[in-house]
Amino acid sequence: MARIFDVAVIGAGAAGMMCALVAGKRGRRMLLLDHAHAPGEKIRISGGGRCNFTNIHAGPKNFLSANPHFAKSALARFAPTDFIAMVDRHGIAWHEKTLGQLFCDDSAKDIIRMLLDEMRAAGVELQLGVEISAVEKGEGGFRLQTTVGEIRAASVVIATGGKSIPKMGATGFAYRVAADFDLKVTETRPGLVPLTLDPALLAELAPLAGVSVDAEIRHGKTAFREALLFTHRGLSGPAILQISSYWREGDEITLSLEPDVDFAALLKTAKRENGRQAVQTVLARHLPKRLAQYVVERFAVDRPLADLSDKALEALAAFLHGWAIKPAGSEGYRTAEVTLGGIDTAELDSKTMMAKRVPGLYFVGECVDVTGWLGGYNFQWAWASGHAAGESV
């Protein structure tokens, strides 16, 4: 015998849990299904185990989408302050780390516990370890074929996330459901992901593995200033993850190391004051030692400043603020924090997240073509889009 609910939500991640608890509070009979054996696994590992659960500056400008206006409505109706109020109600201590990024003081598990408590209070039934083989629409609603039998619901919310980290159960399920209902999906690609280098450049930069430096990374008109990390695979760190969402194969990115330091003035002044100093010694006052050494070797300027023309020093400075690199690729979905692209926003109502052409079918969270920057924006989208659907189902 089929079990009957008002709403079935598929995916007990950030967006699915928020949607379920909001709709449950409205008195809807809710079932939340997940194929995993624990809810909110990505929340658990997020933010280094402390969950960067929102960003106080989150606004539409912090998101990538084919339609930059789409996210506005949901983000405006469930703001970071709304989520903070929920966190405070549950007595979860938090702090701002940097750039408006809010983290739990203790553990990301506190956020999962909070969502589970809220769902319990709202009467949501959570069923884990369930495989869903089909989502069909018939007379009077939807039918789900699952490993625990048939489930019927007037509305279905797809909250199964994107393709990133397949090891953690990411499946691309949402895109398949969209295809079954003839809904368009924009090109998906890994976002917030380390970039790789071709073998020759990788070998050249091998001595820098582990070096971190304040940098501005530019791609076209987009630039991010945060830490850059050289790794044994290529480039990483927040600044690279941010720019990776804008980068495309074949494109160049430009690195400006320690952008506040006027290296040309620094080197020329040092040369005037004490020409016997080595270039590396002066650079190492502002750059990590190994990076200073790399630059000196690359330009073959392992000499006292007095032996170098001002022009040569200027060329060195220009390199430090305009190092062009053509990444070979990215580490892909294996390590990407998010999936760019997804359910085409043109198919969805921005106020409710319901598919315009399939009444009763909703998509929320990362599976939609709305992707945030690094820094708590992706969870804010999950909360806001889940909330929008929860208010509507």
Query: Which of 5-13, 113-121, 182-190, 295-303 is the region at the interface with ligand FAD (rule: CB under 6 A)?
Result: 5-13
Is residue 353 involved in binding ligand FAD (CB under 6 A)? no
Query: Which of 30-38, 63-71, 88-96, 316-324 is the region at the interface with ligand FAD (rule: CB under 6 A)?
Result: 30-38
CA angle 332, 333, 334 (to 5 degrees): 90
Total residues belonging to the chain: 393
Binding to ligand FAD, residues 122-161 (CB under 6 A): 132, 159-161
CB-wise, 160 or 188, nearer to ligand FAD?
160
Is residue 115 involved in binding ligand FAD (CB under 6 A)? no
**In whole angstroms, how close is the CB of 380 to ligand FAD at the nearest point?**
7
> With contact defined as beta carbons under 8 Å apart, do 223 and 254 qualify?
no
Indicate which single residue of 214, 366, 369, 391 sits in contact with ligand FAD (rule: CB under 6 A): 366
Query: Which of 9-17, 143-151, 309-317, 326-334 is the region at the interface with ligand FAD (rule: CB under 6 A)?
Result: 9-17
Query: Which of 162-170, 197-205, 302-310, 321-329 is the region at the interface with ligand FAD (rule: CB under 6 A)?
Result: 162-170
Indicate which single residue of 9, 20, 30, 52 sits in contact with ligand FAD (rule: CB under 6 A): 52
DSSP 231: -
CB-wise, 267 or 353, nearer to ligand FAD?
353
For the residues of 9-45, what is the DSSP string, one character each? EE--SHHHHHHHHHHHHTT--EEEE-SSSSS-HHHHH
Indicate which single residue of 11, 24, 190, 191 sits in contact with ligand FAD (rule: CB under 6 A): 11
Integer Cα distance of 303 and 271 in angstroms: 12
Indicate which single residue of 337, 344, 347, 391 sits in contact with ligand FAD (rule: CB under 6 A): 337
Is residue 387 involved in binding ligand FAD (CB under 6 A)? no
Where do the DSSP E strands lie in 1-139? 3-10, 30-33, 52-55, 63-64, 94-96, 101-104, 125-127, 132-138
Integer Cα distance of 148 and 3 in angstroms: 10
Count other Cβ atoms within 10 Å, centred on residue 196: 19
Query: Which of 39-47, 230-238, 253-261, 268-276 is the region at the interface with ligand FAD (rule: CB under 6 A)?
Result: 39-47
Is residue 164 involved in binding ligand FAD (CB under 6 A)? yes
Given 3-state DSSP classes, what are the helix, strand and coil percentages for the chain, each rounded to the nearest 5? 35, 25, 35
Q: Which amino acid is at 325?
A: I
Is residue 16 involved in binding ligand FAD (CB under 6 A)? yes
Number of residues in contact with ligand FAD under rule CB under 6 A: 35
Contact residues for 135 (Cβ-Cβ < 8 A; gap 6+): 10, 142, 143, 144, 156, 158, 177, 180, 361
> With contact defined as beta carbons under 8 Å apart, do 191 and 338 qualify?
yes
Is residue 34 involved in binding ligand FAD (CB under 6 A)? yes
Integer Cα distance of 128 and 169 in angstroms: 13
| Token pair 């109706």: residue | 77
CB-wise, 281 or 335, nearer to ligand FAD?
335
**In whole angstroms, how close is the CB of 242 to ligand FAD at the nearest point?**
13
> With contact defined as beta carbons under 8 Å apart, do 341 and 174 qualify?
no
Which residue has the closest beta carbon to ligand FAD?
13
Q: Which amino acid is at 329?
A: G
Q: Contact positions toward ligand FAD, by CB under 6 A?
A: 10-16, 34-36, 41-42, 45-47, 51-52, 132, 159-161, 164-165, 169, 171, 173, 337-338, 365-366, 376-379, 382
